Amino acid sequence: MALVAVLLGGLSPERPVSLSTGAGCVAALKQLGHDVCEIDPQDEDWIEQLRAAKPSAVVNTLHGAWGEDGRVQGVLEYLGLPYTHSGVLASALAMDKAKAKAVLAPAGVPVAAGKLMDRREAAREHPMALPYVVKPNAQGSSLGVFIVRQGANRPPEQLLDPDWSYGEEVLVEEFIGGREFTVAVLGEKTGPRPLAVTEIIPAGEWYDYHAKYAAGGSRHDLPAQIPESVAADMMRWSAIAHEALGCRGLTRSDFKWDAATGRAILIEVNTQPGMTPTSLAPEQAAFVGMDYVALVKWILEDASCPR
């Protein structure tokens, strides 16, 4: 079988998640009979490692800034190596939450009202009526996200932390109450294929980093127990979002739905969903009859260059 390079680890705060995703994909690729070369872009000579390996394809399991925002994708395009997941433009758009919303809203996908701000400006005084959410504009895994609830005297003081590592721009959005859901999408040749709707029920107050990746951090109800019309809307919007942003391969769209008001919004589109033991995309794939190894096989076979 051909040699496959797996990019894992990387430079972002999501490095531990990427290492877990990468380990799962490496094991699956070996089970499929491939020779695997693991390359960590934390190493300064990672591009030379790729050149020397001459892989038939690159499975990109990086998460977060730099590995998921179009920069690594640009390197792979320059090297002419077939690679997985979305290309340069779609990766950059989806990672920039404000720009993604500017594309998704005209396409008919409901999104929360909000504005882009410098983190220090957002920390001076409440930038909008309570409650609201402050999140890094280009970060994943719920890192650096704060819910500012009714009665809060000040914005989150962490925004002024000198060790803040989540970028200088933050997105301030209206807080949408309700339950959390997600839809994985396979970008097949016939068009985006939404797999299912999962409700995410965190053990804690909300679906934070711990709830996403710690064992027992959340419960997943699959399929979600919601009205068929709401599930159908989420499936439709996830396909529209995948296509509007120009995504390729596997994506996952996250939603919130308030049963009391009937309002649903798309929170974000993930162009490189986690493939860890607690991740949602492989769980949905298994639900529709595609186990973890089969999903990795599909991801690899979808690799191409250019993307």
For the chain, domain boundaries: 3-85, 93-111+176-301, 114-174
**How confident is the model at residue 153, as a pLDDT?**
82
Residue 179 a catalytic site member: no
Say how far apart CA 89 and CA 71 lie, in whole Å. Answer: 10
Cis peptide before 223 (omega within 30 of 0): yes
Catalytic residue, chosen from 83, 209, 213, 292, is 213
Catalytic residue, chosen from 9, 10, 14, 60, is 14
Catalytic residue, chosen from 140, 270, 292, 302, is 270
Q: Which pLDDT tens digit goes with each residue over 52-101?
A: 999 999 999 999 888 999 999 999 999 999 999 999 999 999 999 999 99
Residue 268 a catalytic site member: yes
The pairs formed by 74-81 with CB atoms below 8 angstroms and a separation of 24 or more are 75/47, 76/305, 77/305, 77/306, 77/307, 79/47, 79/50, 79/51, 80/305, 81/5, 81/50, 81/55, 81/57, 81/305
Q: Which pLDDT tens digit goes with each residue over 3-21?
A: 999 999 998 888 999 999 9
Catalytic residue, chosen from 68, 208, 254, 302, is 254
- What are residue 88's phi and psi, to 5 degrees? -60, -55
**How confident is the model at residue 150, as a pLDDT?**
85
Asked if pLDDT for residue 203 goes beyond 80, the answer is: no
Catalytic residue, chosen from 252, 279, 302, 307, is 252
- Kindly indicate the confidence band of residue 1, based on its pLDDT and cuts at 50, 70 and 90: low
Asked if pLDDT for residue 265 goes beyond 80, the answer is: yes
**How confident is the model at residue 213, as a pLDDT?**
52
3-85: which CATH architecture? 3-Layer(aba) Sandwich (3.40)
**How confident is the model at residue 204, as a pLDDT?**
58
Q: Do domains 3-85 and 93-111+176-301 have the same CATH topology?
A: no
CATH 3.40.640.10, applies to 93-111+176-301: no
Residue 142 a catalytic site member: no
Residue 38 a catalytic site member: no
- Kindly indicate the confidence band of residue 217, based on its pLDDT and cuts at 50, 70 and 90: low
| Average pLDDT of every residue of the chain | 91
**Which of 254 and 163 is assigned the larger pLDDT?**
254
**Which of 222 and 169 is assigned the larger pLDDT?**
222
Positive or negative: CA dihedral 180, 186, 192, 197: negative
Catalytic residue, chosen from 24, 70, 87, 274, is 274
Catalytic residue, chosen from 69, 268, 283, 302, is 268
127-145 average pLDDT score? 80
Q: Which pLDDT tens digit goes with each residue over 19-65?
A: 999 999 999 999 999 999 999 999 999 999 999 999 999 999 999 88
Residue 68 a catalytic site member: no
Residue 56 a catalytic site member: no
Question: Are 127 and 155 in contact, with CB atoms under 8 Å apart?
Answer: yes
Length of the chain: 307
Amino acid letter for position 154: R
The set of residues, in sequence order, having a beta carbon less than 8 Å from that of 197 and lying 6+ positions away, is 181, 182, 183, 222, 223, 224, 226, 231, 234, 235
